[in-house]
Amino acid sequence: FSTCFGQLGTDPWFVPIEGSDHIAEVRRDADETTPVFADAWHSDWSFLEVPPIATCLYGIEIPPVGGDTLFADQHLAYQRLPDGLRGRVDGLTATHSTRAIYGTGGIYDADNEQEQGRSMQIVQGPATYEFDHPLVRRHEGNGHKALFSTLGYIQGIVGMERDEAFELLLEVHRHQTTDDVVYRHPWEPNMVVIWDNRSVLHRATGGYEGHARRLRRTTILPATH
């Protein structure tokens, strides 16, 4: 199904399921106490040279409560920026990096005490991936502008002092995830959800303590890559 939309990507930070190089398992055991995986707003693998255009999730084991996925429309968020702020971000280039998330000492470093006992198999990447992308990205398909990614993966803005850059990014972030641009998606077993990483941010939610949750995931690159 995923290859109907492009070429399968790889996830060097996830151990793939047996028999596949491209399918990862997003899971959390019923008795797990580690932080919920991917519970911060992001666009998948925005730190790659060619970020995936889409992500596909297939729900296998879905808890009876909680576990919704939130999506934030970044076309609408961009359109609703105050005129002055929109003028400031147009034309800027942001530096995206694995450093703070998957790097040594990052959030998902297996040596972190809070990561002990995580059932999902996350590994430190083979290297630090760091690439620059426009902070405002024009969608290749529909031609509309959208804000591209947010705090966490972005480590700075090209040509801007660090403090000034993060002050600006915080201001932008306040407009990226307001209630009027967010959709909350509830899951059911055997449900498939696919989204466009160029158009939305997403984040996981918890609220299913004592229940297991298990999904399969692919990322999708443009067909030419």
Q: How far apart are CA 209 and CA 66, in angstroms?
A: 9
- The alpha carbon of residue 96 and the mean position of all alpha carbons in its chain are separated, in whole angstroms, by 12
Q: How far apart are CA 68 and CA 140, in angstroms?
A: 29
pLDDT of 138-184, one tens digit each?
Answer: 999 999 999 998 888 999 999 999 999 999 999 999 999 999 999 99
Residue listed under structure tokens 């009027």? 180
Which residues on adjacent β-strands are paired with residue 95? 132, 156
d(CA 30, CA 111): 22
pLDDT digits (tens, 9 = 90+) for 19-50: 999 999 999 999 999 999 999 999 999 999 99
Confidence (pLDDT) at 125: 61
Residues 106-131 have pLDDT tens digits of 888 878 888 999 999 888 765 688 99
Strand 200-204 and strand 69-73: the pairing is antiparallel
| Predicted local confidence at residue 51, as pLDDT | 96
What per-residue confidence (pLDDT) applies to 43? 97
| Length of the chain (residues) | 225
Q: What's residue 92's pLDDT?
A: 98
> So what's the pLDDT on residue 84?
97
